Amino acid sequence: MKYDQKDDDIDFAFKLGRQKSSKNVAFSSREERDAFMIELAERMPECDSKTVEWGPIRASLGPLTFGSVVAFMTWAMHGAASALAAGAEAEVSGRRAGLKKLVMWMIDLVGPTGVLVAGGLVVALTGVFLWKRVTTPPVWTTLEPRR
């Protein structure tokens, strides 16, 4: 079990046989979540609790990676949209041809400007999330069985 002290939910990870699974449980407030975790820790004395505060650099890695991938995909799709707008024919074959056709249809539909607007919007929202994560990095608390 782990949770960010600045949120009001808990992530439970568990195994059912060989299959790993997870479940997120949301609470109405942090106080309710904390009371639940205190009660759970008392009922599970064989578990250890550990708290780790992330620094700004570690907190920024996820949003920076996601933003970089989105920026690269926007650049690639803009190139494809520009080629389609110039009259190029898209040849789609191989595995997942249906998905490729759908992506090419969408790129052709919105055009180069639409691709830039959509990609720019996602990158901007990622920037807002990055700023939020860096200014208030998560503080993770975990409750795990002793090994």
Tens of pLDDT along 17-60? 889 999 999 999 999 999 999 898 889 889 888 999 999 999 99
What's the confidence (pLDDT) of residue 87? 87
Alpha helices in 44-145 (DSSP H): 56-85, 97-135
SS3 (DSSP) at 96: coil
pLDDT at position 75 is 97
pTM above 0.85, yes or no: no
pLDDT of residue 65: 98
Residue 87, both tokens? 């009259």
Cα dist from 85 to 78, 99, 102, 109, 111, whole Å: 10, 20, 16, 10, 7
What is the model's pLDDT at position 32?
95
Three-class DSSP category at 14: strand
Q: Tell me the helices (H) and strands (E) count for the chain, helix number first.
A: 3, 5
pLDDT reported for residue 92: 82
pLDDT under 50: residue ranges of the chain: none
What does the pLDDT read at residue 17? Answer: 85
